[in-house]
């Protein structure tokens, strides 16, 4: 584990990395094995931008996003799929409760790590 932050040494302040197998770099991937996931993090007031991102990225490629918000997962999911037209099959969504942070605080590293943790493709664009 890697300690995240300078707080007390409890489970909530640790960032865990788990893997049972790291892919070998000995053999290069073939072109059809290369897939990309768009990874991003944003706050509630920037959610509207996802309409444009989803349209440009296309419905067949995954988008992993972590959002700092006071809304529920279902509220954000509905907004992304119904209001902004993102394809539900392409979204990998993580929610971080904004009430856990000061108003001036934006936990970019936490959000980035949450979004990256959902990736299962060979490559990411962040």
Domains of the chain: which residue ranges?
27-125
Model confidence pLDDT, tens digit, residues 49-73? 999 999 999 888 999 999 999 999 9
* Per-residue three-class SS string for the chain: CEECCCCCCCHHHEECCCCCCCCCCCCCCCHHHCCEEEEEEEEHHHHHHHHHHHHHHCCCCCEEEEEEECCCHHHHHHHHHHHCCCCHHHEEEEEEEHHHCCCCCCCHHHHHHHHHHCCCCCEEEC
Residue 59: per-residue pLDDT = 85
Q: Higher pLDDT residue, 19 or 70?
A: 70
Mean pLDDT within 41-47? 95
90 Cβ partners below 8 Å, 6+ apart?
54, 57, 59, 60, 61, 62, 63
Pick one of 3.40.50, 3.30.70, 3.60.21, 2.40.128 as the CATH number of 27-125: 3.40.50
Model confidence pLDDT, tens digit, residues 79-122? 999 999 999 999 999 999 999 999 999 999 999 999 999 999 99
CA distance 105 to 56: 30
Q: Which two tokens mark 7?
A: 């707080």
Q: Higher pLDDT residue, 5 or 84?
A: 84
């Amino acid at each position: 584990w890697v300690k995240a932050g300078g707080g007390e040494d409890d489970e909530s302040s640790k960032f865990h990395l788990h893997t049972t197998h790291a892919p070998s770099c000995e053999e290069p991937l073939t072109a059809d094995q290369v897939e990309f996931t768009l990874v991003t993090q944003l706050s509630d007031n920037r959610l509207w931008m996802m309409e444009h991102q989803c349209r440009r990225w296309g419905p067949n490629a995954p988008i992993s996003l972590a959002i700092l918000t006071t809304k529920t997962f279902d509220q954000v999911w509905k907004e992304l799929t119904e209001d902004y037209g993102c394809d539900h099959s392409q979204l990998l969504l993580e929610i971080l409760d904004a009430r856990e942070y000061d108003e001036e605080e934006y936990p970019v590293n936490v959000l980035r790590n949450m979004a990256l943790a959902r990736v299962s493709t060979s490559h990411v664009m962040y």
